[in-house]
Each structure stands twice: as C-alpha cells, then as structure tokens.
Structure 1
Amino acid sequence: MSPSRRRDTATAQGEITGTLRLESSPRALLRRLRKGDIAVIDVMDLDSRTAEELAAAGPAAVVNAQRTVSGRYPAGGAAVLVGAGIRVVDDATSAVMALMDGTRATIFPDGVMRAGDRELARGTVLTPDTVGDAMADAEEGLHVQLAAFAADAVDRIEHEAPMLLEARGIPDTGVDLAGRQVVIVAPGFQHRSRLKALRPYLREHRPVIIAVSEAADTVMEGAYPATVILGDVESVSERALARAAHIMLHDPAGGEAGASRLDTLGLAHSEVESSLGSADVAILLARSGGAASIVTLGVAGDLTSLLETSAHDHAVGAAGTFLARLQAGDRIVDAEALSVLYRHRYPWWVVIALLMSALLALGVAFWITPGGGPWLEDAWHTVGGWIGVGR
C-alpha cells in the first residue's frame, strides 16, 4: 500500500499521520510548517491571531506541550484551531519538545502520539465542548490578569508619557492628516476578512491608510496601497514599499526594523524610538496629525483581545494600545463596528438612472400586453395636451 493510501486510511479511522515540526515559538514554526505536518508548540494560552496563522498553514494536527486555554483568561486560539477542523492535542507536557524534528508520527483519537510501536507523547484532544467549557471557566481568571494589565499601564505612562500625551518623538511624515479620515490596518486576528468587509467604505471615502508592518501587503491585495507604512518592514514586499508616500521604521525592541533593506532599495524613511507597539504609534500619529476619524483594523479593542496581544508579544504588551485608544478619544472607531453600521451611499445620478431603467422596463412590458399600446398612446396625448406638447 502506498504512503498516501496509508494516510487516507489512517485519517478515515481517526488516526492522523504526519511529519513532526517542533518550535517553542509558533512564529518561527510558521516559516517552515507545511500542509499536512504535525505542528508541535510550547505555548500557554494560544492567542487567536497565532492560531489563525497556524490554521492557514494547513497542519494535520497541532500538539501543544502546555495548556492552550490555561484558565488565566479566555484565550481564543483553541477555538480557532478546533473551528478550522484541526485536531489539537493539549497539555502533552514538555517531553514532547525533546522529540526529533522531522519524525513521522501518528496521532490517535485518544490523544496518544506514536512512531511505530513507540509512544512519543500523550495529551488531551480538544473538542468544541471542552474548549467552550474551558473558555467559560477562564472568565473567572480575568480579574488577576486585569490587575497585571493595570500595572503595565502605569509603567507605560511612566516611560512613554511624552509620546502618549504630546506625540513627542514621532517624526513628520509629510502626509497631511488634518481633517482626513484615517484607517490603521495592523496584522491582527481576521484582519484580511475584515478589510474586505470595509471595501465599500474605502472606495467611497478614500481615507489615508496607515499599514503596520506586513499588513501593508494585505492592503495592497485590496488594490489600496498604504499611504504610510509603520513598523518593521523586513517582511513587506518591495511593491508595497515603493507605493507608500512615507515609511516610518519602528521596532519596540530597538532593532533596525529593516533600515538596511530600505537603504539598499534607495527608499527614504524616518525612524521612531518607543517601547510602544507599532499600532499604538500609528494611533498617536493619526491623532496628533488632526485626523477627523481613526478607524482601527486588526488592533485590539476589547479586554480579551488586549490580553491576547500581551501574550502574543510580551515585550510590547497591550497596555500601550489601551492608552493610545484612550488618547484618541471619540475619534477612534473599530473597523468591525464600522462595517456593520456603514451603508453605501449611491450618487444621485445612479439613483435616477436606476429609476428611469425601471420605468422603461415597466413601460415596455405594458406596451406589449393586449390593449397596453393604445392605452399608452391615449395617455401620452392627454398628458401632452395638458402641458402643450404634441399639438
């Protein structure tokens, strides 16, 4: 029996066979994960954005050394993976990270992973019901995380007050934002699908688009090049970089964020130094520039999303996002809410053209009916007599 045939049979029996790909960091794993592989990670409380990226890579299964929903807060990663039909083996212990990368292994329905007759690891297979129960239980742990979040916010204020309050340190982009509508697109959870839902708004209002790092390419996919690209541009395509009116480099960790690459390409740029996240700096840039409205897409807005963002990038945290949104005040609106509330407004001439087309179609239909033609002729002569036409 061929290997592909054996895989088909194993899957039909509830067994999943694939090649193990191990990385404690899902971000590093994504660079080499292929469809059909078994992804082995070591993450407590997997966030929605990382899970979405893992699911897009098409693994046969995901094995987590830790608990995907630990109970600290309702992390959404488990629900994303299970919802995508990917088998998740949870809490397989740290021993799973000692396995050899590239090993062919089979995962059984009871959560046991084997290579031939040898048991490699054992965990709990997550289901929609178990994930739902874990998420509900995790709601009770929010108060502890909220306290930590508040402490981080105080620390951010202490170190970033000049930028948060006065936008001090943000260079001039040369782009006029005063009175303009601004859309900030960050590479967050479901940012691609949410950008598609926002297309009618983008077509009609043509706002200034500030793209954060690799989200610049997502924007280009929709044929709306980013006006400003802000963040680390190492993974941004040359096409998106060339179309931007301004590029502002930013790396919270203090790295070069792609400066060497831009110098090689001959693209001018500015730089900003801050421990805040790039999306936070983008919000402060739009606010200090006098934007009339700031639409955020892929930027954390609710408490759970903020906590997930902190888990996704410990160095940045999400308290800065909260403070930046607070500073933007009533100018800021989430893209998901805007796409629900927004209704496309058609130009007056389109409405008139549609009305005339409908009347013409109605007239033709009436004309070809028995007796319709003579009646329309009599009606025309009568109306013409009233207005002095046709005499």
Structure 2
Amino acid sequence: MKPTPRRDTAPTEGEVSGPLRLETNARALLRRLRAGDVAVLDLMDLDSRTAEELIEARPAAVINTQRTLSGRYPAGGAAVLVGAGLRVVDEAGSAVMALADGTHVTVGADGVVSADGDELARGTVLSPESVGEEMLAAEEGLHVQLAAFAADAVDRVEAEAPLLLDAEGLPETGVDLSGKQVVVVAPGYRHKERLAALRPYLREHRPVIIAVSEAADSVVESAYPAAIVLGDVETVSERALKRASHISLHDPSGGDAGASRLDPLGLAHSRVVSTLGSADLAILLAHAGGAASIVTLGVPARLTELLETAAHDQTTGAAGTFLARLQASDRIIDAEALAVLYRHRYPWWVVAALLASAVLALGVAFWATPGGRPWFEDLWQTVGGWIGVA
C-alpha cells in the first residue's frame, strides 16, 4: 500500500535533484514515476486527483511546461502540490520536453533547472501565497465554465437519454442490489483517505461495493472487495479482479478497457457502450438495480469539483455525473457527510464497558461512605441467601 501523502508541510528549501521523467500524457507519466524523480508535466490547469497521485509517487520536484493554474477556473492541483511541500516550477517552457528522459537535473529554489552547471530551463516556483492569490482570481472565471457545463449537460441528455432515463444498455451483473445499501467508489481526489474514514459504516452495514477502475485496488486493500468492478481495468490488480463477482468493461472513447487482460485470466465480463463516465454508469447501475441508498466516494459532488472535472476531462466531462446524481437524487449520499455521522458511533461492547466502569466507580464511591459498606454487606447476605451461598 502506498504511503499517505504529506500535507500542509513547508516548501522544500535549497536545491533538489533527480532524474527527469518526461511524458506528454499525465497518466503515462504516473505509471513510470518513481520516488526521487523530477516529474515533467505538459499540462495546463492540473486537477486535484492527478496532483494527489503525483504526491503518492514522491517525486523530488515537479516541472510544468505550462501554467499549473491558468486562471480559467480554480483548478486544485497547484494547491495540492504546494500544500504537500513539493517544489513546483511553473511555465518552464516547451524546451524541457526536448531533454533526454533520465537526465539528472538540479532544480533550484529560484526556478532554474540545470545539469552539470548548465541552465536548461527556468520557470516560476509556486508558493502557497501565490497559489492562494491565483485561486481567488480564478473564481471570477467560473461563470464561463458553468455556461459550458450547462451546454454539455444538454448534449449529454440528447445523446444518452435512453440510458439516463430507462437504464437501457446497462449490464446484467447477476449481483442483487434491490433494497441493498450500495457504495460507489471512484478513484477521485483523496478517495483512499475518505474510504478509510468510512470503515465504521462499511464494517457495520457491509454494503455492496461498486468500484470504478483502479479504485478496485483501494477497496480490496481495505479488506472490503468490490462486488462489481466497472470501467477500464487495464491497471487493476489481478487480485482485485478475481475477488469481484462481476466485471463490466467501459471506456467512453471506445477502447479495449482491459479486455485483453481478462481473457487470459478466464474472467467473464460484460461491456457497456456509453460516452458517460464510468462513475456515472456505476451510480445509474445502482439506481436501476433498486438500491436503497447509494453512497458516492471519489465522485465529484460540489459545483467547483464538477467544473474542474469538466475542464480537465474533455472526453466525458462532468455533466454526466451531474445528471446521474440528479437521476438518483432521492438515494444519493456523499461519503464525507456519511463519515461525519459515523465518526462518533461506537460498538456495543465499548458502550457496555463504559457503563460497567461507571457502575463500578459509583459502587466504590458508595462503599467509601459511612453507610455504604453495611448496605453492601446486607445486600450480599440477602442475595447469598437466595442463591444458597451465604
């Protein structure tokens, strides 16, 4: 299990160094990134989820050729990286991508990237103060993103109405969801921490879990295997796949979604064809199956989260998530809210132990009073007479 990311730490001082890891695609970079590497991004407006995954890889520094926070909308990735104490060099320029992968570089506190004393690139080092100011300024652009989000929602309704309204095209999983409590776990921002906070609920109610793509590994690591795994399973572990009751493949772009992995393992599976996101389909699947409640974890819930997802993911956007949540609104519960409700609940044996200790303390205090000991002796004689031991 990966270590918990550092949070709210001071920015790194002095120079940091390590081998460059370059990929034009952020997902490809994350698969190759190792502790101590210098990660190079070519991405405008880093989202919170990708930033969290970068932190888990424990790079020495992060260099972005573009603006990590452009101001179009309050993308949360910059704040996540800086809050974890990582050095982030912003707007280092496209020339960085021409450097050889694996080149050992030094990243200075002034934003200079060098190798063997030669300057290779220069950018701006992000600070908590600069990111905070840019986040406030970026909020002014939310109305533009909101308009685009609304337009995408209309397009999604027109394209996916049969699925959204009548559940046409959803797979037959063989898993009984009727009247059950269901938890949909997606690999969203801080989903592992939120899954850990939900353990009291999982332990007490044993809900049916639908895991989206690589979130299946997070679920099985928490000792609660997913009944259904839905999405692209290319990076999902064999252990998580084999423990699922049903696997349903889905790639909104129409890709393989991991079918080439399942066939050699002899694992049966279904396939869903839809332009909606896999988490959206998981919610709709639980709703169509008659779930009594649907707890969403790692799925965007707030407006800012939906807008960030919409701007970051041009394939599925977040309008589908909004529509899926709207369809299942009478049964939807956000995991963060549920965790708060269960935070102060205790098992019955803890309550019994507290009551017993309270009674014992009261008895000792009464024993110490002038009339307490004679009263206990009389009580013992009376009870002993009843049971024949006095």
TM over 0.5: yes
SS of match in other structure, 1:137:
helix
SS of match in other structure, 1:211:
strand
2:340 maps to what in 1?
A: 340
Per-residue CA deviations over 1:214-253 (Å, capped at 9, x if unaligned) read 1111001111010111111121122211211111111111
Letter matched to residue 51 of structure 1: A
2:379 maps to what in 1?
A: 380
Alpha-carbon spacing, 1:75–1:380, altered in 2? closer, same or farther (3 Å): same
Report the alpha carbon displacement of residue 207 of structure 1 after superposing the two structures with TM.
Answer: 0.7
Structure 1 CA distance for aligned equivalents of residues 378 and 47 of structure 2: 70
Letter matched to residue 232 of structure 1: D
What is the TM-score when the length of structure 1 is the normalising length?
A: 0.90
Letter matched to residue 117 of structure 1: G
1:83 maps to what in 2?
A: 83
Structure 1 CA distance for aligned equivalents of residues 210 and 83 of structure 2: 31
Letter matched to residue 195 of structure 1: L
1:64 maps to what in 2?
A: 64
1:179 maps to what in 2?
A: 179
Letter matched to residue 380 of structure 1: L
Report the alpha carbon displacement of residue 375 of structure 1 after superposing the two structures with TM.
Answer: 3.0
Per-residue CA deviations over 1:266-315 (Å, capped at 9, x if unaligned) read 11111111011000000000111111111000001112211222344321
Which piece of structure 1 moves more, 369-378 or 290-299?
369-378
Structure 2 CA distance for aligned equivalents of residues 348 and 144 of structure 1: 52
Paired residues of 1:233 and 1:258 also in contact (CA < 8 A): yes
Report the alpha carbon displacement of residue 132 of structure 1 after superposing the two structures with TM.
Answer: 0.2
Alpha-carbon spacing, 1:64–1:353, altered in 2? closer, same or farther (3 Å): closer
Alpha-carbon spacing, 1:12–1:176, altered in 2? closer, same or farther (3 Å): closer
1:122 maps to what in 2?
A: 122
SS of match in other structure, 2:170:
coil
Structure 1 CA distance for aligned equivalents of residues 219 and 153 of structure 2: 31
2:4 maps to what in 1?
A: none
1:14 maps to what in 2?
A: 14
Structure 2 CA distance for aligned equivalents of residues 276 and 325 of structure 1: 13
- Structure 2, gaps ≥5 residues long: 1-10
Structure 1 CA distance for aligned equivalents of residues 12 and 218 of structure 2: 36
Paired residues of 2:12 and 2:85 also in contact (CA < 8 A): no
Runs of 4+ in 1 over 4 A off after TM superposition: 343-350, 364-367, 369-373, 381-385, 387-391
2:157 maps to what in 1?
A: 157
Counterparts of residues 300-315 of structure 1 (less than 5 Å): 300-315=300-315
Letter matched to residue 294 of structure 2: I
Report the alpha carbon displacement of residue 90 of structure 1 after superposing the two structures with TM.
Answer: 0.7
Alpha-carbon spacing, 1:40–1:352, altered in 2? closer, same or farther (3 Å): closer
SS of match in other structure, 1:290:
coil
Report the alpha carbon displacement of residue 140 of structure 1 after superposing the two structures with TM.
Answer: 0.3
Which piece of structure 1 moves more, 321-330 or 107-116?
107-116
SS of match in other structure, 1:31:
helix
Q: Does 1:244 align with 2:244?
A: yes
Per-residue CA deviations over 1:43-102 (Å, capped at 9, x if unaligned) read 111000000001111111111111111001100101111111100011112222222222
Structure 1 CA distance for aligned equivalents of residues 125 and 69 of structure 2: 13
What is the TM-score when the length of structure 2 is the normalising length?
A: 0.90
Paired residues of 1:47 and 1:311 also in contact (CA < 8 A): no
Letter matched to residue 161 of structure 1: A
Letter matched to residue 282 of structure 2: A
Letter matched to residue 242 of structure 1: K
Identity of aligned residues (%): 72
Alpha-carbon spacing, 1:222–1:13, altered in 2? closer, same or farther (3 Å): closer
Paired residues of 1:381 and 1:390 also in contact (CA < 8 A): no
2:298 maps to what in 1?
A: 298
Alpha-carbon spacing, 1:69–1:248, altered in 2? closer, same or farther (3 Å): same
Per-residue CA deviations over 1:78-132 (Å, capped at 9, x if unaligned) read 1111111100011112222222222222122211112233221111110000000
Alpha-carbon spacing, 1:202–1:267, altered in 2? closer, same or farther (3 Å): same
Cα root mean square deviation, aligned: 2.7
Letter matched to residue 214 of structure 1: E
Structure 1 CA distance for aligned equivalents of residues 208 and 94 of structure 2: 47
Structure 2 CA distance for aligned equivalents of residues 18 and 321 of structure 1: 39
Report the alpha carbon displacement of residue 359 of structure 1 after superposing the two structures with TM.
Answer: 2.3
Counterparts of residues 122-271 of structure 1 (less than 5 Å): 122-271=122-271
Structure 2 CA distance for aligned equivalents of residues 181 and 303 of structure 1: 25
Letter matched to residue 103 of structure 2: T
Report the alpha carbon displacement of residue 373 of structure 1 after superposing the two structures with TM.
Answer: 7.8
Structure 2 CA distance for aligned equivalents of residues 45 and 12 of structure 1: 22
